[in-house]
Amino acid sequence: MDAEVLSMSVDSHFVHKIWQEEELSKMVDGGVPYPMLSDQGGRIGSAYGVYEDGAGVDVRGRFLIDPDGIIQAMEVLTPTVGRNAAELIRQLQAYQHNRATGEVTPSGWQPGRKTLTPGPDLAGKVWKEWKPEEAF
């Protein structure tokens, strides 16, 4: 998808190795196919606002960063709620579509579905171009 995926936690690379071998490889054939980085001390997590100093952990977060280094989307979840990889992929596709075409994607957009062209003709008239039932 022309994207780079990285994972990061405060765990050491030794813990990541064991987690990959003993846990992830049993859920995903061959384990996760992307680098797992160590943020011991939480320096990177602090920069992204997900490091909890008192607990010494990075809270679960995901960030979509465009080729210019700009954070386009972020989601931070507590460990009690699982993440949705399909939504991450949908958002990545939407950002890539926007970057390539300048068109914007309404709520629930999927590739191949209707997009909107921003501008003065659209302002105050989105309701004419898009309906909530088109969201999903």
Q: What angle do CA 17, 21, 23 make, to 5 degrees?
A: 110
Reduced to 3 states (helix: H, G, I; strand: E, B; else coil), residue 9 is strand
Six token digits for residue 79: 């460990």
pLDDT one-digit tens code per residue, 84-102: 999 999 999 999 999 999 9
pLDDT of 112 strictly over 90: yes
Strand partners, 74: 63
Domain 1-79 falls in which CATH fold? Answer: Glutaredoxin (3.40.30)
Domain boundaries of the chain, sorted by first residue: 1-79, 84-136
**C-alpha separations of 96 from 82, 85, 90, 130 in Å:** 25, 17, 10, 21
pLDDT at 136 over 80: no
How much is the pLDDT for 135?
A: 87
CB 3 within 8 A of CB 19: no
pLDDT of 95 reads 96
Q: Mean pLDDT, to the nearest integer, of 8-31? A: 93
For residue 79, what pLDDT is reported? 83
Which tokens go with 21? 């071998």
52 token code pair: 């909890």
Residues 6 or more apart in contact with residue 92 via CB below 8 angstroms: 1, 3, 64
